[in-house]
Structure 1
């Protein structure tokens, strides 16, 4: 059976944008309301418990992706029995994972206080709060969470996004009401598991209505099971570092500095996270085309394509990096107030954190298109361990700045340098790695010069509040672009990359 790939993709993109707006706007409003109505310590509890349970949920990473991948072939062949068997296997594994997370989660309760240095809000029982967060985490494993794999396999991401947006919006509105009108933290967090439960039931209803032929029955073969677990391991070890990165940071800040510091850190990180989502949208959009190109064309052509795409991507990333430095503090002051600001040094480190994270994005897309999960498996674990060790060491001496610096060091050394080596070793050729690094060095130097001039201009503005933010935003919107054009106009490779991007952006449908 052939899917309506283009039509489903368009629906998925539109619904995904709506869901992204919902998932960004409402938490922003809720965080603002909680800061002003209840206090920053409550945000610290949210961040801490979410981080702890995110680490516990690592046991699932990769399994859903492996199952969905395994469904593509039987779906194309209309092999309902195999899909039913995969669905049944999925449900059994999810039940086991849910039980494991529940047992470990409850087992952590006696030592929960060790993760909190101080600043626990009065009249709050952290164990009750933690149990509610734990329920929200495990609900998906016990109540129909596995059924979303059918929608994913059929490329009906529009249905998933619509259901998620609907349940999230209802939950966010109820949470906002609990904060503003009642100021009850228990009621606020209770809407987390209720919204998750509603999402799962609505998803199950949609799957039953649209695809009634699928039921959890039958058994997968030994070969299928072995292939699934191998994919699970390869995918899981790659995703571990990304999932634990901010979780380890938040836990270390809470343990060594306090809940209030955790909340302030996560206010700043929330901006980075929102930008990350936009950039990952670009990567996800080009991933299928790159995968197709890797299959159809030789590595020389793909290396040239990666060089061109990386140029455009890093220019936009540099632009965002400069804007973060100039706009972070004015925006945070308007949002949370002057008492919850980090020093300028922290702002600079956050911006560097964002930029270093972007440096490996396009290369990572090619690694996934080539299927290099197994070859990269040890580096993901190494990055997580290095990040955690450096967090513990540097947090003691430098506080929040030490935690951010630890993440930057781990990102640059492992995620960028060593992971790039894996892609070039197993695909492009190690002899071409030096040129890749030199290109990034060029981007860093140019961005530093452009950023220095832009920041100098922004510092000349003598006003406060919203007006300062608007004027600086106008400077950041115009000056870096002009300076980048001037800087790269004299570089042949940069001109070639710019023309390559222009041709593909402006090309009309059907043109060669």
Structure 2
């Protein structure tokens, strides 16, 4: 029930945020130079790399909370959270201090400051740094709500402050056209949002202030440390793969192309955030299934989640290829569009990451943190090597291709191997066969949709509408026709309808 409530709240919250955020980005583009978009993406990537200081310990702490929450062991929860707080306060301070050390190198990172950017780069960077570092003083409490399947509380709080923040930022840009005021608004509202969620957690879990003299169980502490070491390496690899592209794009092509690219990544980010609501909010439920159900039941649930995963990400990937450039043209103009090959590579990377969702969810809830921990470092090294090589030859397309290749030859095959071999205890070849069929089905659906979309020769708005209808009908019909007789399809549709009726019933009640 909590999973359904979490997903419903997450979707509604994300929809509202998407609308307001989209309007805010439109105003941003119209009132500030495109180089500011590049700065936004560049500094965000730098600080994402600094977040390695977090060591991936958050995942280890969340995993350690599942059992005491299920057993309602207040003392264990309180002692884990107390340690969590100490660690995260230290991390926040470390991020801020290390972040300050980057300032002397900003002129090397941005070799030629654009004339359209009048503010001092160091001052702009400090706003981003403080915003990032301050979140660590509160985010450990958010983790408790997530582990306790109460993500809806986080979703509602975050959506409320995000909407208010963007409305004020829109007003600030229209009135002043000042990027500093824009960042000050963001800093204040995000800080207030974090303080509010901290207050809510204190009220919902008053026992957290108890057991101040009790120490955390040594077995639990040892498990957290062990898992944190493994997730640190996973986090290093993830950040180096996902957050270095903007820095490399800036190196080869500059802030203007990075600004154009940021519109594409923002739209794809909105899609990813919407979809992640499902998989984030079912993690705790899957953890319970893996803990108490038979392997046959676990495999049944995996197949259901994996089909839903393929359906959602496959459909959205086709939409990215067919609709993205037309949407950008209608939204901010043809000058902001990139070649179709870029949209294709973005869709491929989006699909590859998305298809790992079911695997990662099961791998994490099984507690397989140490398996494959060194492989992600290889992924990161290969990504950097491929990016600089292919980026030199093919520019932006090469950098995106490098990301896909580095994933393909490492964790893209190894993580499914671990889940099937150790967790589900089923030959991994079973997963590979299903995955290859998925690729065949979605490739056929995408090719057919693209071919029919070529006949659209109307105004840009009519083209977009007709192509959107094609994307909605063709891929979904092909998937339904191909999988309609499978057990996992029946389970997916049954679960969807149950969720739909539950959510609509709640809305009518309220």
Cα deviation, residue 190, structure 1 = 1.4
- Tell me, what secondary structure is at the counterpart of 1:377? coil
Shift in CA distance, 425/106, structure 1 to aligned 2, threshold 3 Å: same
1:498 to 489, 492, 495: 489
Cα deviation, residue 78, structure 1 = 6.1
Q: Tell me if structure 2 keeps the 8 A contact 1:114–1:255.
A: no
Spell out the pairing of 1:99-498 with structure 2 (5 A cutoff): 99-118=93-112, 120=114, 121-142=116-137, 144-152=138-146, 154-215=148-209, 217-218=212-213, 219-303=215-299, 305-307=301-303, 309-429=305-425, 432-485=427-480, 495-498=486-489
Cα deviation, residue 69, structure 1 = 4.0
**Residue range with higher mean Cα deviation, 235-244 or 342-351:** 235-244
For residues 229 and 85 of structure 2, what CA distance do their matches in structure 1 show? 18
Superposition TM-score, scaled by structure 2 size = 0.88
Q: Does 1:94 align with 2:82?
A: no
Q: Tell me if structure 2 keeps the 8 A contact 1:379–1:419.
A: no
For residues 76 and 348 of structure 1, what CA distance do their matches in structure 2 show? 44
Count of residue pairs the alignment pairs up: 498
**Residue range with higher mean Cα deviation, 347-356 or 213-222:** 213-222
What's the C-alpha RMSD, in Å, of the aligned pairs?
Answer: 2.9
Superposition TM-score, scaled by structure 1 size = 0.88
Q: Tell me if structure 1 keeps the 8 A contact 2:24–2:167.
A: no
2:39 to 37, 45, 56: 45
**Residue range with higher mean Cα deviation, 65-74 or 471-480:** 65-74
Q: Does 1:55 align with 2:56?
A: no
**Residue range with higher mean Cα deviation, 307-316 or 265-274:** 307-316
Cα deviation, residue 458, structure 1 = 0.7
For residues 317 and 145 of structure 1, what CA distance do their matches in structure 2 show? 28
**Residue range with higher mean Cα deviation, 453-462 or 20-29:** 20-29
Q: What is the aligned partner in structure 2 of residue 3 from structure 1?
A: none
For residues 412 and 481 of structure 2, what CA distance do their matches in structure 1 show? 28
Cα distance per residue 1:161-206 (max 9 Å; x no partner): 2322232222222211221111000111112221222112222332
Shift in CA distance, 65/37, structure 1 to aligned 2, threshold 3 Å: same
Cα distance per residue 1:263-286 (max 9 Å; x no partner): 111211222222222332332344
Q: Tell me if structure 1 keeps the 8 A contact 2:321–2:347.
A: yes
Unpaired segments ≥5 residues, structure 2: 503-510
Q: Tell me if structure 2 keeps the 8 A contact 1:80–1:213.
A: yes
- Tell me, what secondary structure is at the counterpart of 1:342? coil
Shift in CA distance, 480/206, structure 1 to aligned 2, threshold 3 Å: closer
Q: Tell me if structure 2 keeps the 8 A contact 1:117–1:259.
A: no
For residues 348 and 425 of structure 1, what CA distance do their matches in structure 2 show? 33
Unpaired segments ≥5 residues, structure 1: 1-5
